[in-house]
Amino acid sequence: MVISDPEATRRHARRCRLSRSKIVAAIRASATAYGAFLLLLPSSLPSRAADSDIRAKYEVTLAGLTIVHADVIFAVRGSAYTVRTNYRTSGAARLMSSATGEAVTSGTYKNGILTPTKFDLDHRGSQRVQKVALVMSGGAVDKLTVDPPLDQASRRAPIEPEHLKNIIDPLSGLLASAVKADGKSEIGACDRTVPVFDGVRRFDIALKRKETQIATRGPFTGPLTACELRITPIAGEIRNGNGPHAGTPNRSLGETEMTFGFVDAQKIYIPVSLSARLGFTTLQARLTQYSHTAQR
């Protein structure tokens, strides 16, 4: 006689529903959200930031199952900064669609303004292998290289010359100072819309403040600010499931919330958590390790 465990059966069914397409969609959605999450968002910084390294580790889960791990290093040296992110699929995601990658951005810091000059992405996955290189100046793309080249016959909103102006790369997207262009006025963690271009897509990330609280346990302790996050595709390939779409806000991601933690000693915000609806499941990312080292 076989004794059935209804709860175990339900858990098994839930895992089975995380099909290959759902895992792939989640990885792509988290890749879209990484421009809004795997970043460090400085607040009111001095005109010259102190040399330092900030290291953070993140875990991305879908329906409670770990699918991606990512490591972020933010380095400041005088008037120059670099952000390096390494990510890799893990757990059930590796069985469905394995992927690893590295994204690096660098630029200059002056008078409270961070200006990216270079962005490189090297993505290697079972579904896609792609390299992207951007050379920028003054918020505009001077040179763009995509290997392999984009399929011009695929369904996409074309990327026009105006889409290459007044933009920022996805890693620097929220690495913007809270000091406005006048060098005096300050803005909060959520009071912004970020125009992002990653080489194949142009989209806006809008952040709207929801609430504040204090974290007393976990990798980060201190003041938290929760923001409502909304991604609006503008041009290029905006994927939904296995097909590209453009022009509809949050095509893959549903209601999305991101929480920043304020580090008073360094006057910066760091992403602590993200939660987004993806169909009938929830895509989540959380900070698992954090450290800061001053350089001498």
Q: Does 4 have pLDDT greater than 50?
A: no
Name the nearest CA neighbour of 43 among 211, 265, 292.
265
* Contact between residue 67 and residue 91 where contact means Cβ atoms under 8 Å apart: yes
Residue 94 has φ and ψ, to the nearest 5°, of -65, -30
Distance CA 250, CA 176 (A): 22
Residue identified by tokens 């392999």 is 148
For residue 95, give both structure tokens.
């069985």
Buried b (16+ CB within 10 A) or exposed e, 24-34: bbbbbbbbbbb
Convert the pLDDT of each residue in 205-257 to its tens digit.
999 999 999 999 999 888 898 999 998 999 987 554 444 444 444 456 678 99
296 vs 255, which has greater pLDDT?
255
Question: Omega of the bond prior to 148 within 30 degrees of 0, cis?
Answer: yes
Distance CA 227, CA 260 (A): 8
pLDDT tens-digit readout, 99-127: 999 999 999 877 657 789 999 999 998 88
Please list, in sequence order, all residues whose beta carbon lies within 8 angstroms of the beta carbon of residue 78, skipping any fewer than 6 positions away: 48, 51
